[in-house]
Amino acid sequence: MTHRKLPDFLPDWMSAYKRNLFSGDLIAGLIVTVMLIPQSLAYAMLAGLPPEMGLYASILPIIAYALLGSSMTLATGPVAVVSLMTASALAPLAQQGSVQYVELATQMALISGVMLLVFGLLRLGFLAHLLSHPVISGFISGSAILISIGQLKHLLGIQVSGNNIISTLIDLARHLPQTNLATLLIGSSCLLFLWWSRRYLSTFLEKAGVSSKLAGMLSKLAPMISVIGFTSIVYLFQLDERYGISIAGHVPQGLPTLSLNLPGLDAISALWLPALLVSLVGFVESVSVAQSLALKRKQRIKPNRELIGLGAANIASAFSGGYPVTGGFARSVVNFSAGANTPLAGIISALLMAVVIAFFTKLFYFLPQAVLAATIISAVTALIDWHSLKTAWQYDRADAFSLLTTLLGVVLLGVEAGILLGIALSLAVLVWRSSRPHMAVLGRVPNTEHYRNVQRHEVQTVPGLVALRVDESLFFANAAVVEQKVMGLVNADPDVKNVLLVCSAVNQIDATALEMLDQLEKSLSTRDIQLYFAEIKGPIMDRLKNTPLGKRMKSKIFLSVHAAFLHLKKDQELH
Amino acid sequence: MTHRKLPDFLPDWMSAYKRNLFSGDLIAGLIVTVMLIPQSLAYAMLAGLPPEMGLYASILPIIAYALLGSSMTLATGPVAVVSLMTASALAPLAQQGSVQYVELATQMALISGVMLLVFGLLRLGFLAHLLSHPVISGFISGSAILISIGQLKHLLGIQVSGNNIISTLIDLARHLPQTNLATLLIGSSCLLFLWWSRRYLSTFLEKAGVSSKLAGMLSKLAPMISVIGFTSIVYLFQLDERYGISIAGHVPQGLPTLSLNLPGLDAISALWLPALLVSLVGFVESVSVAQSLALKRKQRIKPNRELIGLGAANIASAFSGGYPVTGGFARSVVNFSAGANTPLAGIISALLMAVVIAFFTKLFYFLPQAVLAATIISAVTALIDWHSLKTAWQYDRADAFSLLTTLLGVVLLGVEAGILLGIALSLAVLVWRSSRPHMAVLGRVPNTEHYRNVQRHEVQTVPGLVALRVDESLFFANAAVVEQKVMGLVNADPDVKNVLLVCSAVNQIDATALEMLDQLEKSLSTRDIQLYFAEIKGPIMDRLKNTPLGKRMKSKIFLSVHAAFLHLKKDQELH
């Protein structure tokens, strides 16, 4: 051990830091910064906030996450979906551009940060699973469509109002004749350049002899190149004055001042639900990218640590004049592939951002808004995921339905209603699926100890015995269905004297199902029909044996279907 | 076939009606009517409505359900919990006693009826399973406590205001010195008589030589006896004038006029959520009692038909000046035990109620409100269910927690918030449970074809092979956990070359889990580790084989764990 002993309160990665990790972290930090500058300006615009707030949200939050989060390669900061959700939450509460709007954005980061922190301390990381992949995919695609449509006005250089997609589109069509052609030219060439770079720049560079890895990294610089290029063009040809192109204008220089603007009760009651949704969506997005990157390097993500890390990042954002942040998909992937080994890469890019804010914001004065809009559109359209829809459609219509409904919900009703719809759908599909379990009546495959579905196989049955296998855990969503199935089988055949419930695929029995079984046993017993169990799993048996039902049925529980059949057949012969 | 051929549009029970069923239906109809008269007056009071509305809600709704519902013995009409929910939904919208309040109650029945009907036509009967038994039990017990506390003012003869439990209790304590002693005397003697009857009247009558069945039925007449007795006492001794005892007063005589008061957009937007909750709660309560009664007689309940029947009942209630109705627990049980064979029993009691309303409402003039309050308290305290709490506590803490939280939620936050909390809890517990599946690494029990948990049994393993059995369906709530488990096992042992996923307890694989498996296979494969499956169930295999993953893994899926072990062991030896 040659490295110096560091204090215990430092994160593991820091106390175990080795010098050979540094070059990877440095390069990744540099490249992510170059991506982060245009993105943070653009996403702040998307959130309806002044550009410097995007920059502020890219310093302390990253450092806070680096110290407390569990991912080695997650790049936090402003992201598109969370920015859109912020804009949508604040729209009914304050006017964009007002002091109150800015204050509310900061307070939303604080509320969301505190929620995430508390969830982490309560170990509620499993809440991320409230959203299924189809719902996440539908949500992201829907948000991307909504965001892209919202940015069209900047590409066209027109003013558009409208608080939902329909009125926005109508207003857009009405103002179309007022399109600023110079703006449109800059915006569309930027968009074309970004699209071209995303698809072909890397191949192009490789053909020109650049190594494959370097080419991949250089192609990520396209947004920064277009920022520099188009800003220079506007500056050199004075396009802002001559053609009325909208530019970023004065971006305040200097590090953010640290202060905390505590929300009042009014703000809390208006912001808690949007903050909760932003927290949930941000957490899910962040954990899924962190996890997929960690798996590639044999690392592990701790969901509860992630909650704490993201919570701290949002609180740090609120302290330093930022707005809600989370882990971003694109930047994290770039960070990973650029060779980031530890969160030091993030700290490096946070420090670089601080330098930019402290000294270089003047350079953004002539940055055209159309370029930021093109950056946003290019980034979010990459997130639209038709592949998942196709796969879900082929594999499982219920999942495809969830995906499409969430997508349409987001586009037509807005992000908040969309995500709530998505959560409700995930759970409804889960309950719906479990409420109709696969059940099979079993018979013996001749001369074996195997028992199979009587409808699929040639099997032997014992007269007066019905053996039913339920291929699902027994719980509130399907207890009634199983009860009805058993009673239906019993009613269909007046000779039935024994019912055997085969529990080989029953992984859990909840209190509702236990009560059902208790009632079932009693009501069968009043009709002189005996209930038996077979193949109950260990963990269930441990709990069952202490219940009144378990005690009553003690001698009626068999280890295997075969043992039950042998016993009940003998029983039958005695009658 | 001697019975006359009846038109096809009549319900099955009517076209197949046999004369020998009639005496049971007649007696049950009579007894239920005698219970229904005091209950319908009392529950209307509980809903904050004039007494005649309870009577109106006991004619057409019962007939509508009889024609369209699927239960043979469910007794519909006003019930306690739905009345409480109506009062709580209308409290913020209109003043009790105002015309608007009455109109809104009728419109709520209409909206709820239309919702139920639409749900039935969409076949959404499975929605009833959104509520687990512990949540239903907590909800009912909480409502019973809330209702009882709300009725104390009538027992004490004082005026109390307060829109939540705390302020009601404080106001109650403040006004306690103003207690009307005559009212308290009547109310408490009535309550004592009802409690005594419920516990001992039946035994008492049996000892006096009455047959057990008749004694049981007669004991159900106690509320009617106390109504007649105390009304007579008040009338004879003029207690209303002499001691200021509150009485029912003038109850309009005559059948309700048929009319439909369509809600405006304002009313719809204020009432849709309470109407949805009332529909859901009413449906769940109704279906569970209908089902438990049907099972005793080898009959079946069709949840979607129930939705249609209850929907029609509520629409009929709205047409005839009533308020939301559903199937009641106590009356249905009495209807069943009194020998009701078909819904004709309900039609008989509806006709009897019509006669009461048309000619005899004068008789209720001197009925003391304290007696109605005692009727309510006696009925709802019978619903408080400590037994379920005890059972849930012993069997499953998560379920006990749901029960208690829902109970406290109803008492402290009100019925609507309570039921929403309950639904959220049911689903959260479901997701939480499924998000931490039981998983076991398997080895071979020496010299057998059985494979068991390496931690519980002495088993043989194959070097370089990890066999993991997951005891849960794979879906969005646990996909990430399973992936992490596999990666954890692989990371823990650098020699692992083969991973076998044993799916004997996997009943479903949703799109989220499929994507996880696809990713897992790819990321293992980049590390030269092969993924295999064993014991995939038929229905899953059918869908899996058409997916890219299924095609890639075609030769890596084994029918049994044993086959997989044999193959992979051989494979191992060749290395």
Tell me whether A494 touches chain B (CB under 8 Å).
Answer: no
B396 and A543 within 8 Å at the Cβ level: the answer is yes
Contacting residues for B218 by C-beta, under 8 A, at least 6 apart: B201, B202, B205, B210
Closest CA to B435 of A47, A303, A149: A303
Percent of chain B whose pLDDT exceeds 90: 44
- pLDDT tens, position by position, A323-340: 999 998 889 988 998 889
Q: From CA A197, how far away is CA A87, in angstroms rounded?
A: 29
Query: CA–CA separation, A113 vs A278, rounded Å?
Result: 10
Between A210 and B113, the higher pLDDT residue: B113
| DSSP characters over A128-164 | GGGS-HHHHHHHHHHHHHHHHHHHHHHHHT-----SS
What pLDDT, in 10s, does the model give residues A238-275? 888 888 888 888 889 999 989 888 998 888 888 998 99
pLDDT value at residue A391 = 83
Return the pLDDT at B323. Answer: 97
Tell which of A70, A133, A304 to mutate to test the B interface (max B CBs under 10 Å): A133
Of chain A residues 398-437, which have a CB less than 8 A from chain B? 399-400, 426-427, 430-433, 435-437
Which B positions 214-233 lie with beta carbon below 8 A of chain A? none
pLDDT at residue B32 above 50? yes
Q: What ipTM is given for this predicted complex? A: 0.72
- Nearest-angstrom CA–CA distance, A491 and A485: 10
CB A530 within 8 A of CB A498: yes
Contacts of residue B545, Cβ cutoff 8 Å, sequence gap at least 6: B551, B554
3-state secondary structure of A450: coil
Query: Which residues on A lie below 8 Å from B432 (Cβ)?
Result: 126
Residues of B in contact with A134 (CB under 8 A): 511-512
Which residue among B130, B505, B511 sits closest to A392, beta carbon to beta carbon?
A: B511
Q: What is the mean pLDDT of residues A276-304?
A: 85
Whether B510 and A396 lie within 8 Å, measured CB to CB: yes
Identity of the highest mean pLDDT range in A26-40, A289-303, A525-539, B340-354: B340-354
pLDDT digits (tens, 9 = 90+) for B474-519: 988 888 889 889 988 998 888 999 999 999 888 889 888 888 899 8
CA nearest to A395, candidates B539, B481, B502, B531 = B539
State pLDDT tens for residues B300-340.
Answer: 788 899 999 999 999 999 999 999 999 988 899 889 988 89
CA atoms within 13 A on the CB side of B132: 33
Secondary structure of B317-347 as H, E, C letters = HHHCCCCCCEECHHHHHHHHHCCCCCCHHHH
Give the pLDDT confidence of A416-463 residue by residue, as tens digits.
Answer: 888 888 888 888 888 888 888 889 999 998 888 788 888 888 888 888
Most confident range (mean pLDDT) of B28-37, B101-110, B478-487 is B101-110
- pLDDT 10s digits, A492-501: 888 999 999 9
pLDDT tens digits, residue range B370-407?
999 998 899 888 888 888 888 888 888 888 888 999 99
Q: How confident is the model at residue B101 (pLDDT cuts 50, 70, 90)?
A: very high
- From A501's Cα to the closest Cα of chain B, the distance in A is 16
Which residue is it, tokens 């440095």?
Answer: A26
Q: Which residue is closest to A493 within chain B, CA to CA? A: B298
**In Å, what is the CA distance from B65 to each residue of B61, B70, B310, B354?**
6, 8, 6, 16
Spell out the residues 6+ positions from residue B334 whose beta carbon is closer than 8 angstroms to its own: B28, B31, B32, B35, B75, B217, B220
Cα distance between residue B319 and residue B56, in whole Å? 10
Please name which of B90, B92, B111 lies closest in space to residue B268, comparing C-alpha atoms.
B111
A133 touches chain B (CB under 8 A): yes
Q: How far is B328 from chain A (nearest CA, A)?
A: 19
Chain B: residue whose CA lies nearest to A302: B484
pLDDT in tens, B405-426: 999 999 998 888 888 888 888 8
A477 touches chain B (CB under 8 A): yes
Binning pLDDT at 50, 70 and 90, where does residue B2 land?
A: very low
Instruction: Kindly report the number of other CB atoms within 10 A of residue A242's CB atom.
Output: 10
Q: What is the pLDDT of residue A182?
A: 92
B505 with A508: Cβ contact below 8 A: no
Contact B472 A507 (CB under 8 A): yes
CB atoms near residue A19 (< 10 Å): 8
The answer to whether residue B537 neighbours chain A at the CB level (below 8 Å) is yes
Q: What is the pLDDT of residues B284-299, one digit of tens each?
A: 889 888 887 887 777 7
Interface with chain B: mutation pick from A394, A510, A528, A559, highest number of B CBs within 10 Å: A510
Per the prediction, chain B carries an average pLDDT of 89
Place of tokens 């913020």: B92
Angstrom distance (rounded) from CA A119 to CA A541: 33
- Which chain A residues have a beta carbon less than 8 Å from that of B395? 511, 514, 543, 546-547
A515–B133 CB contact, under 8 Å: yes
Distances (CA, A) of A551 to A497, A521, A542, B523: 21, 12, 12, 48
Task: Give one DSSP letter per residue of B405-469, joined into a string.
Answer: HHHHHHHHH-HHHHHHHHHHHHHHHHHHHHTS--EEEEEEPTTSS-EEETTTS--B--TTEEEEE
**Which residue from A365, A333, A331, A337 is spatially nearest to A349, judged by alpha carbons?**
A331
In a mutagenesis test of the A interface, which of B455, B456, B473, B516 is the best target, namely the one with the most A β-carbons within 10 Å?
B473
CA distance A34 to chain B (A): 29
pLDDT > 80? residue A572: no
> What residues of chain B, 364 to 403, have a C-beta less than 8 Å from chain A?
388, 391-392, 394-396, 399-400
CA B405 to chain centre: 17
The whole-model pTM stands at 0.75
- CB within 8 Å: B134 and A300: no
User: Is 90 exceeded by the pLDDT of residue B221?
Assistant: no
**pLDDT (average), residues A461-490:** 89
Secondary structure (3-state) at A258: coil
pLDDT digits (tens, 9 = 90+) for B121-171: 998 887 777 778 888 889 889 999 998 998 999 999 998 877 788 888 999
Residue A447 confidence (pLDDT): 84
**Nearest residue on chain B to A513, alpha-carbon basis:** B133
Q: Binning pLDDT at 50, 70 and 90, where does residue A159 land?
A: confident
HSE-CB at A104 with a 13 A cutoff on CA atoms is 29
Q: pLDDT digits over B43-85, tens only?
A: 999 999 999 999 999 999 999 999 999 999 999 999 999 999 9
User: Mean pLDDT over residues A207-227, rounded?
Assistant: 86
In chain B, residues with a C-beta closer than 8 Å to the C-beta of A507 are: 437-438, 471-472, 505
Residue count of chain B: 575
Residues of chain B contacting A515 with CB distance shorter than 8 Å: 133, 388, 391
**In this complex, which of B126, B483, B538 lies closest to A435 when CB atoms are compared?**
B126
Q: C-alpha distances in angstroms, B345 versus A321, A365, B354?
A: 71, 83, 14
pLDDT score of B1 more than 70? no
Chain A contact for B494 (CB, 8 A cutoff): no
Position A455 scores a pLDDT of 87
What's the longest Cα–Cα distance across chain B? 105
Strands (E), A397-504: 439-444, 451-453, 465-470, 498-502
Please list, in sequence order, all residues whose beta carbon lies within 8 angstroms of the beta carbon of residue A24, skipping any fewer than 6 positions away.
A338, A339, A340, A341, A345
User: For residues B346 and A572, which has the higher predicted lDDT (pLDDT)?
Assistant: B346
Q: Is A371 within 8 Å of A227 (Cβ atoms)?
A: yes
The answer to whether the Cβ–Cβ distance between B129 and A431 falls below 8 Å is: yes
Q: What angle do CA A473, A479, A483 make, to 5 degrees?
A: 120
How far is Cα B69 from Cα A38, in angstroms, rounded to an integer? 64
Q: Which residue of B391, B399, B507 is in closest CB contact with A472? A: B507
3-state secondary structure of A480: helix
pLDDT given for residue B155 in this prediction: 92
* Contact indicator for A504, A536 with CB cutoff of 8 Å: no
CB within 8 Å of chain B, chain A residues 109-128: 126, 128
pLDDT for the residue B425: 83
* Contact yes or no for A283/A116 (Cβ under 8 A): yes
Band (pLDDT 50/70/90 cuts) for residue B427 is confident
pLDDT higher than threshold 80 for residue A482? yes
Contact B57, B50 (CB under 8 A): no
B286 touches chain A (CB under 8 A): no
- Name residues whose C-beta falls within 8 Å of residue A428's C-beta, 6 or more positions apart in sequence: none
Structure tokens at B489: 């096992």
Tell me what pLDDT residue B505 has: 84
- Look at residues A38, A28, A36 and name the one whose alpha carbon lies nearest to residue A229: A38
- Between strands A498-502 and A530-534, the pairing is parallel
**Mean pLDDT comparison of A111-115, A296-300, B454-458, highest-scoring range:** A111-115
Residue with the larger pLDDT of the pair B338 and B6? B338
CB pairs under 8 A between A and B: 184
Q: Spell B411-443 as b/e; 16+ CB within 10 A means b.
A: beebbbebbebbbbbbbbbbbbbbbebbbbbbb
Is the pLDDT confidence value at B7 over 70? no
pLDDT higher than 80, residue A6: no
Strand segments, DSSP code E, in A258-368 are 326-327
Question: Band of the pLDDT at A1, cuts 50, 70, 90?
Answer: very low
Q: Is the pLDDT of residue B573 over 70?
A: no
B427, B433, B438 ranked by CB distance to A427: nearest = B427
For residue A531, list its beta bridge partners.
A499
The span from the CA of A340 to the CA of B128, in Å, is 51
Among B491, B490, B493, B492, CA closest to B501: B490
Residue B212 has pLDDT above 90, yes or no: no
Any CB–CB contact under 8 A between B477 and chain A?
Answer: yes
Extract long-range pairs of B396-402: CB within 8 Å, 24+ residues apart.
B396/A510, B396/A511, B396/A514, B396/A543, B398/B429, B398/B432, B398/B433, B399/A510, B399/A511, B399/A512, B399/B132, B399/B134, B399/B429, B400/A511, B400/B134, B401/B425, B401/B429, B402/B132, B402/B134, B402/B135, B402/B138, B402/B426, B402/B429
